[in-house]
Amino acid sequence: MCNLYVSTFNVYTFIIMKASGSKIIKLYFKILKTGYKLSNTYSRICKLSGISIHQFIVLKLLNGNNHSYNNVKELISQMPADMSNVSRILDKLESKNLISRIRNPEDKRKSKIFITEDGKLICQEIENNINNNEILFKKINKKDLKLLEKVLGRISG
């Protein structure tokens, strides 16, 4: 199903790019196509470790924030816009012993979220696999990669 969608996406992208004279629209579709390629590649890498790309994003955020967040709202504020159903993601990670939550005794709706040692190991395993599989970026030298990161940072805010 995913390959069919990407294939259909590529056909539509090709048609729109050929029909449109706008450089902005062409750039938009190139960025979108690159995003799909990266997402598909990283999703496959995450699945090798038994988690989804969204679960990895949560682990990565926890691993980079002194290993915890004070509440779900704080965690959500750091996530990409397309992250939905965070509670379900946290439940799955907790059932796999990759995170733990400590409930606030004063407000049961709030809990502090921690990455576990197992979560840190999975996060590191996936990062190593991503670094070893950077085939998508092998055509770009380090200087251009830094420039790309800077430009995308400006676009995404």
d(CA 102, CA 111): 5
> How high is the pLDDT of residue 47?
96
- For the stretch 3-47, pLDDT in tens is 444 455 555 555 555 555 678 788 888 888 888 888 888 999 999
pLDDT(139) > 90: no
The confidence band for 75, taking pLDDT boundaries of 50, 70 and 90, is confident
| Domain extent listing, the chain | 1-48, 50-157
Single-letter residue type at 119: G
What is 50-157's CATH number, 1.10.1660.10, 1.10.1740.10, 1.10.10.10, 2.60.120.10? 1.10.10.10
d(CA 19, CA 72): 44
> How high is the pLDDT of residue 2?
41
The confidence band for 100, taking pLDDT boundaries of 50, 70 and 90, is very high
Higher local confidence (pLDDT), 81 or 6:
81
